[in-house]
């Protein structure tokens, strides 16, 4: 008897050990391929009972070609790349991974903030060109004691705020859906957004 096949249509992760263990526990196996476009996804996932995707387009055209699929799992919090109506019509359950990548996105946001404030890209370029000139025309800004503004205070913004706490920033938050007392309890200030 052939085991059920789970198709992972986006590669890029270091390991699929967790997925393989989960699949094996229900008598399935995973196969991974970095698919390029709808035709590639359709061909690779045609006979899979489940499809796992990150960015690959799972349009109506793709979904209607999935002969055995019962589940589409999206690596990420949203399902923007999945045609939900087509999946529903085909009886396919669509799932996402709430909280997926929160720390990674927050870390990247912090890295970009630090790179911008410290002018890392400009100064790296200057050093590579044999120059080093820090002056009023290209200042490096101190982070400690600065003010950070966050529009929205969901999981990623909260993680950014937490990661930057050591810099003793004043964090201003605008989020009409979060109670100001909750913002305050996390060490930030709730403010109105003046546009």
Average pLDDT over the chain, rounded to an integer: 92
Residue 135 belongs to some domain of the structure: no
Q: Which of 65, 96, 127 is the last residue of a domain?
A: 96
Q: What is the CATH number of the domain that holds 28?
A: 3.40.50.720
Average pLDDT over residues 55-68: 95
**How confident is the model over 180-190, as pLDDT tens digits?**
999 999 999 99
42 and 63 inside one domain: yes
Predicted local distance difference test score (pLDDT) of residue 13 = 79
43 and 108 inside one domain: no
Percent of the chain predicted with pLDDT > 90:
71
172 and 108 inside one domain: yes
Range of the domain at 67: 4-96
Closest C-alpha among 20, 12, 61 to residue 41: 61
> How many structural domains comprise the chain?
2
40 and 106 inside one domain: no
Ranges of beta strands (E only) in the chain are 4-8, 28-32, 50-53, 71-74, 93-96, 147-151, 170-174, 189-190
Rg (CA), the chain: 23
């Amino acid at each position: 008897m052939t085991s059920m096949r789970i198709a992972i249509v986006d590669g890029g992760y270091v390991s699929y050990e967790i997925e393989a263990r989960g699949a094996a526990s229900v008598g399935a196996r995973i196969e991974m391929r970095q698919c390029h476009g709808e035709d590639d996804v359709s061909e690779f996932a045609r006979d899979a009972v489940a499809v796992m995707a990150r960015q690959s387009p799972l349009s109506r055209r793709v979904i209607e070609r999935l002969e055995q699929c019962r589940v589409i799992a999206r690596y990420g919090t949203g399902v923007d790349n999945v045609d939900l109506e087509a999946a529903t019509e085909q009886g396919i359950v669509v799932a996402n991974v709430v909280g997926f990548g929160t720390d990674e996105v927050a870390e990247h946001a912090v890295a970009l903030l630090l790179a911008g404030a410290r002018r890392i890209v400009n100064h790296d370029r200057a050093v590579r060109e044999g120059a080093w000139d820090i002056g009023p025309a290209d200042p490096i800004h101190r982070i400690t004691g600065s003010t950070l503004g966050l529009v929205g205070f969901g999981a990623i913004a909260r993680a950014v705020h937490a990661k930057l706490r050591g810099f003793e920033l004043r964090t201003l938050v605008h989020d009409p859906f979060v109670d100001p007392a909750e913002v305050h309890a996390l060490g930030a200030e709730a403010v109105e957004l003046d546009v």
